Chain A
Amino acid sequence: MAGAIEHERPAVPHRGAERGAPAPERLPRLALIGNPNSGKTSLFNQLTGLNQKVGNFPGVTVDRKTGVAQLGGQRRAEVVDLPGTYSLYPKSLDERVIADLLYNPLAADYPDFVVVTVDASNLRRSLLLFSQLADLGLPAIMALNMTDVAAERGIQLDVVTLERELGVPVVPMNARKGVGLAALRILMADRLAASPPAGRFWQPDAALRPLLAEIRVHFDLPNDYLALHYAHQFRQLHFLGEADQEFLQVLTERAGFDSMAQQAAETVARYAHINELLLEVVTVTRTERREPASNRIDKVLTHRVFGYLIFLAVLFLLFQAIFAWAQYPMDMIDQGISALSAAIQERFHGPLVRLLTEGVIAGLGGVLIFIPQIALLFAFLAVLEETGYMARVTFLMDKLMRPFGLSGKSVVPLISGLACAVPAIMGARTIESWKDRMLTIFVTPLMSCSARIPVYTVLVALVVPDESWLGIFNMRGLVLMGLYLLGLSSALLSALVLKTVLKARERSYFIMEFPVYRWPRWKNVGLTIVEKVKAFIFQAGKVIIAISVLLWVLASYGPGQRQAQAAAQVQQQATAQRWPAVETERRVASARLETSYAGTFGHLIEPAIRPLGFDWKIGIALLTSFAAREVFVGTMSTIYSVGQDADLGTVQQKLASEKDAQGQPFFTPVRALSLLVFYVFAMQCMSTLAVTYRETKSWRWPLGQLVYMTGLAYAASLFVWQLFS
């Protein structure tokens, strides 16, 4: 029954002829494909380790993870990690990547063979995808993963029979622990010149033959099944030109091709076949009839009371980690950078040294300082994801999120938004529904991200006393929490408003499988952290250092002779009024700053921000921190350090010593609050706008975010300052 029903042309050879022989140094390419939660990521990490690159699939915005794997016998191969899927009929944007890759033998990325990860504890469902891949005629190896889970459940698999029936090599393994990996590597090296599996699982209906034959001839396709997928999916295949799509449109319409009914029939027929096959392969011996451990754990973790309590506890732990634990390494980085600057300034002098210390090194410090928080947050998220708890959070939160037009799946991006909106918005890809996804992307930047933390902490520490309320609640902590809640509620309310504006484009599904609970693999967690920290340093970091240097230049130099004139004027006054040398120096520096490019900039926008309680110095910071919020602190530090003993005081001390015209402290609680509220709402982040554009493929969304959030910030600050000052 699994034997070849029809002898078809092999899938691969004809492509070499059309593209010319591949360059000799090109590594063989293999694609990893499998169901969600089948251990695909673990296998990818085991195969490639730190040799990973994250890029993009051409034309779309789905992460394309590739790596180089060391195979048996000193051979190497490039591994592409494909998004998890249940079938070759895509139901989400992510899954469309697979169709684009596998249906086009001419694609640059077209794999030489596929490694299909299969969950041994749920072979029936995993085989659906495998059987489709086999019918496409792709050379394949089956990585029979999670054999430990299967054994725990008393499931025995006859691998020899399975191999014979499927016609491909089957490697039993436990990718998380690395069991079976050596065998897989050797097999992969062996199979580099693999032939497609002999088995055919399913044949399209005879009535479709003429249609499929026509498609096959037109596109020169190796088999009927691939032709069938063209008939099903031509509207979504990026590599087809408009003329080709038109052609298929006409053809399928003429043949009366009913895509939905055909798909349903195919899936049912495949399962029937698989069920028969499994009779020979699977034996289940259960010593005692009892529920799997995961189902018992679920009774607690999704309990109506304990479920939420535990989730709250997890969130609490997460916040503790970001705010308290991260503080120690952050202080060390801060002190290290200060010490380095001071040491250099002690030994060398001149404008270049100032550029190095006040520009470059200060900027570098601003980047490095975030590593502990980013690492900790992604460690947490990776553990939640790895253990399978994240899916339960989705389950618990779905009903709560739905009134706001969001789904349980929005919770993960929103929570990730507490670290950084950039990865969070990218994380929204897992949401299949277009509308839910757009809503989530739009409101995620309102969640208070870690880049706001420095702004919050500096300003809160400046005006809120470090005292306890009722002896237990730290006042600063309370204010900080209030800011976070303000961000959260504005995100939810904004979604609620947008929900009514936006029209859905497609069906939204919630259905998902609960992965079984597992202990996290620390290697996977570690690789996630490395990936995110690297992305931050090399993407956001570049911007921050560049802005830092630019700022230093803007604050140190001015248009024409104005700076020199202002300085000379102050000097004259000093001589006339006999100021002490220190006082003179401070006033000269202050005058120079006010006449610098940055000062000119700040003065220019002062009329617009005066109603919010901001002066030109804050105006400078608002403009520069548009690149990234954390630049605010750097800017304030730079601006206020000019004229003071640079690097001697903290930003806080510098701000606290700032006086207004009456000689009172400039940063009153209300002024600080107005500024804080501004930062809660404002879209002060170039990177977020860029990533929104990338994810939505339209400037409408990022521009909408910019206008909406800045407007919200302006209105809120105006409200605070006008009402309370």
Chain B
Amino acid sequence: MAFFRRSAAAVVTSPSAPTRRTANDLRTGETATVCCLKDPEMALKLLEMGCIPGTQVRLTGRAPLGDPLMLVLGDEEYTLSLRVSEASTIQLKD
């Protein structure tokens, strides 16, 4: 229930936070854990699609021109397709 008491500000960091790796920096096949979401408005969409902090994401591939990309999320292993601009708002844990 830790998330329960966390304020929204902890989930959505300000853009000035130290630069972390984002989902766009993943190599194909690499798995990482979502740390936080950079863009408050985009975060709402990502959150409701299940991309919440603590979720595992795996980059399974990119469209032939490098954009958009495919992320497999969570234990359920469902695939989201998102643009580079959108994926780079997903910051990863080190």
Contact = CB atoms under 8 A, between A and B. Distances in A.
A514 B83 contact: no
A408 B44 CA distance: 22
A264 interface: yes
A267 B45 contact: no
A294 B76 CA distance: 13
Given A298-B70, A395-B68, A122 B78 contact: yes
Interface residues of A, number: 53
A272 B41 contact: no
A399 B70 contact: no
Contact of B41 (A391, A394, A507): A507
A264 B80 contact: no
Interface residues of B, number: 44
Contacts of A128: 48, 50
A666 interface: no
A267 B44 contact: yes
A399 B82 CA distance: 11
Interface string A377-403: 000000000000001001110111000
Contacts of B53: 268
Given A86-B49, A298-B61, A264 B75 contact: no
Contacts of A569: none
Interface in B53-94: 53, 60-61, 63-68, 70, 72, 74-83, 86
A91 B45 contact: yes
A260 B48 contact: no
A304 B64 CA distance: 4
A20 to B, nearest CB: 38
Chain A interface main SS type: helix
B1 interface: yes
A407 to B, nearest CB: 9
A510 B68 contact: yes
A308 B63 CA distance: 10
B49 A125 contact: yes
A98 B70 CA distance: 29
A513 B71 CA distance: 10
B86 A399 contact: no
B17 interface: no
Contact of B46 (A89, A153, A396, A511): A511
A352 interface: no
Contacts of B3: 268-269, 271-272
B63 A89 contact: no
Contact of B63 (A265, A267, A302, A511): A302
27 contacts: A86-B48, A91-B44, A121-B78, A122-B50, A122-B76, A123-B76, A125-B50, A128-B48, A258-B8, A260-B8, A261-B40, A264-B47, A265-B7, A267-B48, A268-B11, A269-B3, A271-B50, A273-B4, A276-B1, A292-B77, A298-B60, A298-B61, A398-B83, A399-B68, A511-B45, A511-B82, A513-B49
Given A267-B47, A507-B41, A509-B42, 15 more contacts: A86-B48, A128-B50, A260-B44, A264-B43, A268-B3, A269-B4, A271-B50, A272-B3, A295-B79, A302-B61, A304-B64, A408-B68, A509-B45, A514-B70, A514-B79
Interface of B: 1-4, 6-9, 11-12, 40-50, 52-53, 60-61, 63-68, 70, 72, 74-83, 86
Interface of A: 86-87, 89, 91, 121-125, 128, 153, 258, 260-265, 267-269, 271-273, 276, 284, 291-292, 294-295, 298-299, 302-305, 307-308, 391, 394-396, 398-400, 408, 507, 509-514
